């Protein structure tokens, strides 16, 4: 008999810092009304999945997104929080407007901090450093559950989810930099006997997908 499990990755809805175009990182900011609505809207895309496990970061924008989803689904699931799933720490850039930061430090330098794989901003983390904490946590605490008919939801952040996606797809440093995770767009993976057998991205109804994978087929965005 085969074991089939689902893994759903969700980036939180719009936050107050996202709305103002500020570097957020580990700053613990709230969802905006738009972000709350995005969380409600994405719930209907998962109405056919009965979750057995739920994971999130220590930051309330991800935690609140998950709480909205599970409440709307009327599912009482134990939630595990861990800072390994936190957003990338942007260090000295946190709280700065992204356009103003480009003026202060130079557009090229800020772009390197934002989009290189292993160059961190001052007192912050690179994507590699984020992956170095997110991937082992996923491998040790979450991946083994995919062998036993479990359905798992992870509500986290753009860069911690990118790290997990990097692992799941076997991406190299360049490929992951071309990967984007849209707000409240479920990335749904199917595992059969612990092996990934299907994958799709599910944009919210009447919204354009902001998610992207290198070489992604349009048919995979449903």
Residue 136 confidence (pLDDT):
98
- For residue 6, what are the β-bridge partners? 151, 190
* pLDDT average, residue stretch 97-125: 94
What tens digit of pLDDT does each residue of 28-59 get? 999 999 999 999 999 999 999 999 999 999 99
Closest by Cα among 106, 200, 125 to 163: 125
Angstrom distances, CA of residue 30 to CA of 22, 59, 120, 154, 218: 13, 9, 25, 18, 33
Rounded Cα distance, 52 and 45, in Å: 17
Above 90 in pLDDT, residue 125? yes
pLDDT of residue 208: 85
For the cut 70, the answer to whether the pLDDT of residue 221 exceeds it is no
The pTM assigned to this predicted structure is 0.94
Q: Helix 60-73 to helix 33-43 angle, to the nearest 10 degrees?
A: 40
Q: What are the extents of the domains in the chain?
A: 4-90+127-220
3-state secondary structure the chain: CCCEEEEEEEECCCEHHHHCCECCCCCCCCECHHHHHHHHHHHHHHCCCCCCEEEECCCHHHHHHHHHHHHHHCCCCCEEECHHHCCCCCHHHCCCEHHHHHHHHCHHHHHHHHHCCCCCCCCCCCHHHHHHHHHHHHHHHHHHHHHCCCEEEEEECHHHHHHHHHHHHCCCHHHHHCCECCECCCEEEEEECCEEEEEEECCCCCCCCCCECCCCCHHHEC
Whether pLDDT at 1 is above 70 = no
pLDDT digits (tens, 9 = 90+) for 141-177: 999 999 999 999 999 999 999 999 999 999 999 999 9
Tokens 């961190």 belong to: 120
Q: Are 54 and 127 in contact (CB under 8 A)?
A: no
Active site residues: 12, 87
* Homologous superfamily of 4-90+127-220: Phosphoglycerate mutase-like (3.40.50.1240)
Find the distance separating the first CA and the last CA of the chain, reported in whole Å.
29
Q: Which two tokens stand for residue 86?
A: 């936190």
Residue 80 confidence class, pLDDT cut points 50, 70, 90:
very high
Average pLDDT over the chain, rounded to an integer = 94
């Amino acid at each position: 008999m085969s074991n089939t499990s689902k893994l759903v990755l969700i980036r939180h809805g719009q936050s107050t810092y996202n709305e103002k175009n500020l570097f957020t990182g580990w700053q613990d900011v709230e969802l905006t009304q738009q972000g709350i609505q995005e969380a409600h809207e994405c719930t209907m895309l998962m109405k056919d999945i009965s979750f057995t496990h739920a994971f999130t970061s220590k930051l309330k924008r991800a935690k609140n997104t998950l709480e909205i989803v599970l409440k709307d689904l009327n599912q009482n699931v134990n939630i595990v929080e861990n800072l390994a799933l936190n957003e990338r720490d942007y260090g000295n850039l946190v709280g700065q407007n992204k356009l103003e930061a480009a003026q202060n430090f130079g557009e090229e330098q800020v772009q390197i901090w934002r989009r290189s794989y292993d160059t961190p901003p001052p007192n912050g983390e690179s994507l590699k450093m984020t992956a170095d904490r997110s991937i082992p946590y996923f491998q040790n605490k979450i991946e083994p559950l995919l062998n036993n008919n479990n359905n798992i939801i992870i509500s986290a952040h753009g860069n911690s989810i990118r790290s997990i996606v990097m692992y799941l797809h076997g991406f190299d440093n360049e490929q992951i930099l071309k990967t984007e995770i849209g707000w409240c767009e479920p990335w749904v993976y199917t595992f059969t006997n612990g092996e990934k057998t299907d994958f799709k991205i599910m944009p919210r109804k009447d919204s354009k997908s902001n998610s992207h994978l290198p070489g992604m087929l349009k048919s995979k965005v449903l």
